[in-house]
A and B are shown apart, each in its own frame.
Chain A
Amino acid sequence: MALLECKHLCKSFDRRVVLNDVNLKIDKGKIIGLLGKNGAGKSTLIKLVNDLLTIDSGQILFKGKPIGVKSKAHISYLPERTYLDKTMTIKQAFKMFSEFYADFDLERAHTLLADLDLTEDMKIAKMSKGMQEKLQLILVMSRDADLYILDEPLGGVDPATRDHILDTILSNFKEGSSVIISTHLISDVERILDDVIFIDKGQIVLTGSADKLRAKHKASINDIFRSMFYAKKTH
């Protein structure tokens, strides 16, 4: 049984079709790249899976059952924009996550925090944007979830922070769980992906193993993506 399955998923806002007959299967134990340009439908798809929007038609199954309150307990979601109350200290954020999520591993959170040279009494508002992104990722990756969904985890951070974020994802990715990384910054993440899903104009246009696609096209995932969606190759 697939960990996550979307069947004939459709979603419109007003009359604008954002997702059109999306069919997907995500197996356990994989890191998957959900790749598409801005506005392709990535975030809408992710919000539907996290039960933050209602489905117009179709179905989303998590471990074979329709998504809902139960699936939320096992899906750890990093939203594109932070929802943290910035007046909180790190300690308060940890406490909130411990109370919200039974699978939150406080010890792991402390270990990850130690790598960042931050202290628990620090206010989130006082931290740099990069640090805030890292903290948010620590909160999300410290849960023992079955599925991690990271929406643009690399947006707007410097290259060193990107490396750190990728390291954090890799070193906390545990056997049997899966990670979906949604991004348009393909060259930064493609090396850690098992499989890729290309989404464009609300439709899934390509899925496959990253290494098999590289072998078939003799090109990077980034170049394959660009040749499909941009008339001219840009660098």
Chain B
Amino acid sequence: MQVIQFKFDNERPIYLQLVEQLRVAIVSGAYAAGSRLPSVRELAVMAKVNPNTMQKALTELESDRLIFTERTNGKFVTNDQRLLDKIKTELASDLVQKYTSDMAKIGITYADSIKYLKQLGGQ
């Protein structure tokens, strides 16, 4: 079973944080396209959260079609590569916006922030 490290901040709803972290685990391939997810109970114990909260997070991922349920077999990651790419792009876009707006806060223009990224990124 692929073990994911979950981290939480008690000031935000736990199920939302589970949705976010499971989404990352899926687009990063930690839970690969088409693969079976651990059971709700296994995931809950792994994250040290209530199984009901985990179920709620999985229901949300299912309504986004990132995962699907096979009646007797459990829950699987979608095989829809276009959907996975789309979500990855959305996550990347959030990160870029955060980066550029944080850089703007310390007085670095957009053009310069790209230079910084090229020079210092990956260090």
Q: Which residues of A contact B (CB under 8 A)?
A: 29-31, 163, 166-167, 170-171, 173, 175, 187, 190-194, 210-212, 214-215, 218-223
Smallest beta-carbon distance A159→chain B, Å:
13
Q: Which residues of B contact A (CB under 8 A)?
A: 8, 10-16, 41, 44-45, 48-53
Find out whether the CB atom of B51 lies under 8 angstroms from the CB atom of A173: yes
**A194 in contact with B50 given A167-B45, A171-B45, A211-B15 (CB within 8 Å):** yes
Find out whether the CB atom of B50 lies under 8 angstroms from the CB atom of A31: yes
Please pick, from B8, B12, B48, the residue contacting A167 in the complex, using a CB distance under 8 A: B48
**A170 in contact with B10 given A191-B49, A193-B50 (CB within 8 Å):** no
Find out whether the CB atom of A191 lies under 8 angstroms from the CB atom of B51: no
> Can you name the residue of chain A whose Cβ is closest to the Cβ of B6?
A191
Chain B residues whose C-beta falls within 8 Å of the C-beta of A163 in the assembled complex: 48
List 7 contacting pairs A-B, 8 Å CB cutoff, sorted by A. A163-B48, A170-B50, A170-B51, A171-B45, A190-B10, A211-B14, A220-B11
Chain B residues whose C-beta falls within 8 Å of the C-beta of A221 in the assembled complex: 10
C-alpha spacing A122/B118, complex, angstroms: 63
> Can you name the residue of chain A whose Cβ is closest to the Cβ of B11?
A220
Chain A residues whose C-beta falls within 8 Å of the C-beta of B12 in the assembled complex: 214-215, 218
Please pick, from B11, B13, B15, B48, the residue contacting A192 in the complex, using a CB distance under 8 A: B48
Chain B residues whose C-beta falls within 8 Å of the C-beta of A171 in the assembled complex: 41, 45
Find out whether the CB atom of A218 lies under 8 angstroms from the CB atom of B11: yes
**A211 in contact with B10 given A166-B48, A170-B44 (CB within 8 Å):** no
> Can you name the residue of chain B whose Cβ is closest to the Cβ of A220?
B10
Find out whether the CB atom of A194 lies under 8 angstroms from the CB atom of B48: no
Chain B residues whose C-beta falls within 8 Å of the C-beta of A194 in the assembled complex: 50, 52-53
Chain A residues whose C-beta falls within 8 Å of the C-beta of B16 in the assembled complex: 211
Chain B residues whose C-beta falls within 8 Å of the C-beta of A222 in the assembled complex: 10
Please pick, from B10, B44, B49, B52, the residue contacting A214 in the complex, using a CB distance under 8 A: B10
Chain A residues whose C-beta falls within 8 Å of the C-beta of B44 in the assembled complex: 170
Smallest beta-carbon distance B33→chain A, Å:
29
Find out whether the CB atom of B13 lies under 8 angstroms from the CB atom of A215: yes
Chain A residues whose C-beta falls within 8 Å of the C-beta of B8 in the assembled complex: 191
Find out whether the CB atom of B11 lies under 8 angstroms from the CB atom of A219: yes
C-alpha spacing A222/B13, complex, angstroms: 13
Please pick, from A29, A31, A173, A214, the residue contacting B13 in the complex, using a CB distance under 8 A: A214
C-alpha spacing A150/B95, complex, angstroms: 43
Find out whether the CB atom of A191 lies under 8 angstroms from the CB atom of B48: yes
**A211 in contact with B53 given A167-B48, A170-B48 (CB within 8 Å):** yes
C-alpha spacing A53/B11, complex, angstroms: 38
Smallest beta-carbon distance B48→chain A, Å:
6
Ranked nearest first, the 7 interchain pairs of A and B with the lowest CB-CB distance are: A220-B10, A211-B13, A192-B50, A220-B11, A215-B13, A214-B13, A171-B45
Find out whether the CB atom of A191 lies under 8 angstroms from the CB atom of B10: yes
C-alpha spacing A170/B49, complex, angstroms: 8
